[in-house]
Amino acid sequence: MYEQLEDVVAAYRDIETRLSQPETVGNQKLFQKLSKNHSRLQPLVHAYEEWKGLCKQRDENVEMMRTEAGELAEMAKADNEDLEPRIEQLSHDIRILLLPRDPNDDKNILLEIRPAAGGDESGIFAGDLYRMYSKYAEENGWRIEPMSIVHNDVGGFKEIMVMIRGERVYSRLKYESGVHRVQRVPKTETQGRVHTSTVTVAVLPEAEDVEVQIDPGELRIDVFRSSGPGGQSVNTTDSAVRVTHIPSGLVVVCQDEKSQHKNKAKALKVLKTRLLDIKEREQHDKISAERASQIGTGGRSEKIRTYNFPQGRVTDHRIGVTLYQLDAFLTGDIAEMISKLNTHYESEALKANTFESALSGISEALGE
């Protein structure tokens, strides 16, 4: 099967040659397209060429073991024992690199956190999750831009919407969508009883203007005065903006900025991102049962994770992983869980993706 990858290597070398030609450098559209394909193929080509070199070395060792005796044969055998795990790992890596790429992986995200069941405690835990993701974003050098943050009267939140910008944010956080359950004694509980509350998290890839076009005639825009925690007035002008997309019924409210113009721009960005999410869900449901199941995992009605304070554990129910480091987890130490989730879904995708279909996908991408 790997002989077919020689065609991929040939395509990669051809791209390298074309990128150095003056006519390509002078055509920015073509140059960007070729650069994108070069970046995509580079890890695959490097992994394949290393795999091929190690296989050749292994075969030479086998021949030495057949024709030589004594110390040379033993050295060849020992060398192959070291080579086999690396060859096997590279073979796995190549299959992963051949998987169809999620076109949203490189995008920024709109992170939405909302209290669900559990009253005031749910709103308080929404704030805990916001701080968790904020710390993780900070550790990765990502920027957080508040879009709409609405407090409740007990130190929690009614709604949190922020844009997170940085390198491959969606690829890291896309599996965080769903219902997060917390089990603990609420601050408002006087008898020490453990309560169960839930919070919904949505991770949406940021929509580019070219991906979603909105007819201004399909929008209803209302302005009103912003309000802060406890109903206190944030300002005395009508700076808050409510945008209603009439065809879909989607409503977005932004009031964080003192400028009506800035709040409107943020609201439209959120609206476009939500419309793109709806559009992509519809497409995925039609063309990919596997991808649709992953989207389902991010649905608002499924419990994906439990944070149990009495036992100090966090459990992800999709992959059956429990970590007994809840305090560290809630301070942003979530990289291990994210890595395990990505590995799980990569494995699931491998089961559904044949080598031939993967190569076909590469060829189609290069032909775009």
**Confidence category of residue 230, pLDDT binned at 50, 70, 90:** very low
Question: Per the structure, how many domains does the chain have?
Answer: 2
Q: Is residue 363 part of a domain?
A: no
Domain co-membership, 60 together with 123: no
Name the domain boundary from 46, 75, 100: 100
End-to-end CA distance of the chain: 24
Q: Is residue 366 part of a domain?
A: no
Domain co-membership, 78 together with 143: no
Name the pTM for this structure: 0.67
Q: What is the CATH number of the domain that holds 249?
A: 3.30.70.1660
Domain co-membership, 50 together with 193: no
Q: Is residue 41 part of a domain?
A: yes
Top pLDDT among 8 and 361 is at 8
Residue 205 pLDDT exceeds 60: yes
Domain co-membership, 50 together with 114: no
Residue 231 pLDDT exceeds 60: no
Q: Is residue 358 part of a domain?
A: no
pLDDT tens per residue across span 129-148: 999 999 999 999 999 988 88
Domain co-membership, 87 together with 166: no
Q: What per-residue confidence (pLDDT) applies to 52? A: 92
Name the domain boundary from 100, 132, 163: 100
Domain co-membership, 7 together with 124: no
- Cα 311 to its chain centre, rounded Å, is 29
Please give the full DSSP string across 224-282, using - where no structure is assigned. Answer: E--B-GGG-BS-SS--EEEEEETTTTEEEEE-SSS-HHHHHHHHHHHHHHHHHHHHHHH
Q: What are phi and psi of 146, to 5 degrees?
A: -60, 135
Domain that holds residue 216: 109-348
Considering the chain, what percentage of its residues have pLDDT values greater than 70?
A: 82
Domain co-membership, 153 together with 296: yes
Q: What per-residue confidence (pLDDT) applies to 146? A: 87
Instruction: Specify the amino acid at residue 142.
Output: W
Q: Is residue 206 part of a domain?
A: yes
Q: Is residue 205 part of a domain?
A: yes
Domain co-membership, 61 together with 135: no
Q: What is the mean pLDDT of the chain?
A: 81
Q: Is residue 365 part of a domain?
A: no
pLDDT tens per residue across span 147-191: 888 888 777 888 888 899 998 899 999 999 999 999 998 876 667
Domain co-membership, 57 together with 201: no
Q: In whole angstroms, what is the distance from residue 141 CA to residue 25 CA?
A: 32
Q: Is residue 359 part of a domain?
A: no
Tokens coding 29: 């559209």
Top pLDDT among 321 and 290 is at 321
Tokens coding 36: 């994108």
Domain co-membership, 32 together with 152: no
Name the domain boundary from 74, 100, 126: 100
Domain co-membership, 187 together with 262: yes
Domain co-membership, 316 together with 244: yes
- 219-224 and 240-245: which strand pairing? antiparallel
